[in-house]
Amino acid sequence: MISIRKLMFVAALFVLAGCANVDVEDYVNTTPRLDIAEYFTGNTRAWGMVQDYSGEVQRRFTVDIIGTYENNTLTLDETFLFADGETDRRVWTFERVDDQHWVGTANDVEGQVDARQYGYAFHMRYPLDIEVSGRTIRFTMDDWMYLQPDGRLINRTAMRKFGLTLGEITLVFEQVDS
């Protein structure tokens, strides 16, 4: 009987956790207003880290981003340099649908990504295959960006599998003079 109670308790926690999600529209009246095309056009640098489920830092990295915006298309060419010397590259292309909505694609992301921006917040969720201990695991990336009053942009991404957060990525972006 005790195992059934524990199972019901865990199931209830999952239901409650699913109801607790914040919607990006909750930020509609906040400032400063973030527009990713305005923010990322030009050169941007970010500093970040990947943490596992326990909070232990697994990787540190920097990202240099060259952003161009033409004909309602934002292209972000991202070059990653990890503390261990590994490099990687991702190219995002976002098509503006309207003032709040974007549709994005990236060279290592399967399918299209629906992204929305309201007030100082930007949100998107997408699948991403990541190598972990020699295995490739598909995570759901729950990606949030928040524009700060000083112009820096903070990015927090939950790496989820089966609804559980197994890792987190934190980045701080700063615009760089060309």
At 55-70, the pLDDT tens digits run 999 999 999 999 999 9
Q: Give the other-Cβ count within 10 Å of 172's Cβ.
A: 14
Integer Cα distance of 24 and 117 in angstroms? 7
Please indicate whether residue 78 or residue 130 has the higher confidence score (pLDDT): 78
**Contact by Cβ (8 Å): 83, 59:** yes
Listed residue (112, 114, 111, 122) closest to 157, CA to CA = 122
Could you write out the three-class secondary structure of the chain? Answer: CHHHHHHHHHHHHHHHHHHCCCCHHHHCCCCCCCCHHHHHCEEEEEEEEEEECCCCEEEEEEEEEEEEEECCEEEEEEEEEECCCCEEEEEEEEEECCCCEEEEEECCEEEEEEEEEECCEEEEEEEEEEEECCEEEEEEEEEEEEECCCCCEEEEEEEEECCEEEEEEEEEEEEECC
At 120-177, the pLDDT tens digits run 999 999 999 998 889 999 999 999 999 999 999 999 999 999 999 999 999 999 999 8
At 83-112, the pLDDT tens digits run 999 999 999 999 999 999 999 999 999 999
| Confidence at residue 16, expressed as pLDDT on a 0 to 100 scale | 46
Q: Residue 45 has which token pair?
A: 């640098």
pTM (global) more than 0.85: yes
Integer Cα distance of 158 and 97 in angstroms? 25
At 28-49, the pLDDT tens digits run 999 999 999 999 999 999 999 9
**Contact by Cβ (8 Å): 79, 61:** no
| Confidence at residue 95, expressed as pLDDT on a 0 to 100 scale | 98
Confidence of residue 119 (pLDDT cuts 50, 70, 90): very high
